[in-house]
Amino acid sequence: MRIIRFGFDKDPSVFLSEYITGNKFDLPGTILIVPTQRFRKHFSRELLKTQSKDILFAPSIITPFQMITELSLMTGVPLASRFMCYSMFKKAVRKTNGVELLFNPSFIDSFKDFCELSDGYLGAFREINEQKVDLYSIRTESLPVAGYEGFEEQFSIFKKLYHNYIIEQSSSMDPGFAINLIRKEHVIRYFAEFKHVVLVNPVALTRFEKWVYSVIEDKLHVLYQDTNEFDFGRILGYRAGTSACASTRDFSISPADIFYSEEPTKTKQALAIIDTVFRLIEQGKNPDEIIILNI
C-alpha cells in the first residue's frame, strides 16, 4: 500500500490526474474509488486536459457505495432497490409496537416525510451492520451518557424495529446488509483485472471497508488531504509510517487549536462536540471563531 498525502492548497481532482498520469499508470488497468459522483465529473474534466485527443483511455471510476453494491451482487443474492427498502421499512414499522415513542407514526401519510425519516433510520441500520456493532454493546456504552428517563424503553423499541427490518428482507436484501455474505474470494475477483486501485480522499471507513482494502493492500494507493497532526493510519487501521508524514507545511493556525475526535456512535460524537465547544467558550474563545468539521 502506498499512502500519498497532499495539502488543502491543492485541488484533489487535479492532484489525482497528475498522480496517475505522472506515474504512467495503465489507465484501463486502474480503478479509482472516489468520494462522490460530483468528484468523478471534476476528475474526468481534468483527465481530458492531460490526454491526447486521438488516443483517449480512462480508468474505471466508482464510489464506495457502488463498490459495496457491486460486491454484494457477486454473492448472487437479490438486492432491494431504494423504494423496496422503503417498503420493507414501512412494514417493519407497522409490526413494531411502541414506535410512537421514537417518532410520530403519521409520517407514513406524507411521502416526503416518510422518505426523509426512513433515510435516517435505514442509514443508521446500515452503519450498525457495516461496523459489525452489537446493539447490546451500544446500549451499555450509551446508557451512562444518554441515561435519560425512558431511554431503556426507546432503545428496546429501536432494537425491535431493527430486527423487524432484517426479517422483512426474506425475498430481497438491503445492499447494506448483503455485505455479510461477501467473502475474500469475491473481493479478489472483483479487483482481479486492475493493477492499481486508487482510493481518493477517504474521511472515514467502516470495518467492512477496512477489511476490503486490506485484501487488496498490495495494489492499493491512498491519496488523502490532511494536516500534520493527523495520521491516516487512524482511518484505515494501519500505522501509516514515515510515508504518510514525510512532508511538512506551514499552517495559518496552530496545530494546538485543532481538536480531533473519533467516536463509536453518533450520540457520543454529538456529546464530544458539545463538550469541546463549551470548554472553548469557557476558556474565552469567540463562538464565531469555532469551526466544526463533521467528516
Q: Residues 263-268: contacts with CB within 8 Å, 24+ apart?
A: 264/133, 264/141, 265/138, 265/141, 265/142, 266/124, 267/142, 267/145, 267/146, 268/141, 268/142, 268/145
Q: Which portions of the chain are predicted below pLDDT 70?
A: 51-56, 137-148, 226-257, 260, 262, 264-267, 288, 293-295
Model pLDDT, residue 56:
66
What per-residue confidence (pLDDT) applies to 163?
94
| pLDDT value for 223 | 92
| Cα distance between residue 89 and residue 167, in whole Å | 10
Q: What is the pLDDT of residue 238?
A: 44
Pick 2-70+182-250's CATH classification: 3.30.930.10, 3.40.50.300, 3.30.980.10, 3.40.50.720.
3.40.50.300
For the chain, the structural domain boundaries read 2-70+182-250, 82-179, 259-295
pTM for this predicted structure? 0.67
Name the CA radius of gyration of the chain, rounded: 22
